[in-house]
Amino acid sequence: MVPGVITALTSPPLARSSRFGISVKSPPELHRRGSSAVPAVRCDASPALSLSEERLENGASVTGGAYDFSRATTSLTGKMLDSSKKVTLVRHGLSSWNEESRVQGSSNLSVLTETGVKQAERCRQALSDMHFDQCFSSPISRAKTTAEVLWQGREEPLIFLDSLKEAHLFFLEGMKNVDARAIYPKEYTTWREDPSNFCVNGVYPVRKLWGTAREAWKEILLSPGKDFLVVTHKSMLRALICVALGLEPERFRATDINNGGISVFSFNKRGEAMLQSLNMTTHMYKDHVYMY
């Protein structure tokens, strides 16, 4: 429907119809009481705009939905890219400390389990028809092993980025959640319920994670190529997703990502993000190959 324009009349309008809309005449007594005129309201359609006259960026079509996502978010690069980009994010498979319900953080002692390796293999199969120019991974063991399984058989070398490391959680790392809750009730509760304000010796791990996520996005998006695969950890994924969407650290738990979950972002040449899919897990339960 073409937006209408509200106009006031001091005399009864004639009822008429047009290709744009309908103006309806009210009964005369509603327009005049005694000698005083009461304004009537008529909704006239504004002139239609021909699609051929619209200046759509890049000549894109509006058929079927939005044709662009200019300024949907702010630029993550601060500079123009050589092309649009697509980034596929994958969380590592099940780790030993996931299985034991321990706080992992940046520790390198938690390793991929047999189940985790199978999850990584499922991810590889699910993405087997996809082309990726490069694969970036956290160097921490559980993510590194997942990336090695995913990237198996591809010629390009894996690229390990320190900016994709998980948040450092200090003395909580390695502790079972139940023990951490009992021994450090204040700190553990803050980490679970108000993570952006979790602080150790003046350091706010989640807030710091936002900074490293921004660094990671720049490193990835300014790299040669158009299609990238990224393997990392849940907290870092939350930061990457929130930073791309313009959400602050207070929204840290606004998303959740399963082991082996796949999320996809598109970026225009300005480095602005559009979230295309979040935490896809169909491939974890049945044979499924993605094409996007």
Residues making up the annotated binding site for substrate are: 91-98, 142
State the virtual CA torsion across 179, 182, 185, 191 in degrees, nearest 10: 20
218 with 225: CB under 8 angstroms?
no
Alpha-carbon distance of 158 to 172, in angstroms, equals 30
Residues that are catalytic: 92, 166
State the virtual CA torsion across 92, 96, 99, 100 in degrees, nearest 10: -140
Strand segments, DSSP code E, in the chain are 4-9, 16-17, 22-23, 32-33, 36-37, 40-45, 85-91, 134-137, 159-160, 227-232, 262-267, 273-280
253 with 195: CB under 8 angstroms?
yes
Alpha-carbon distance of 166 to 213, in angstroms, equals 10
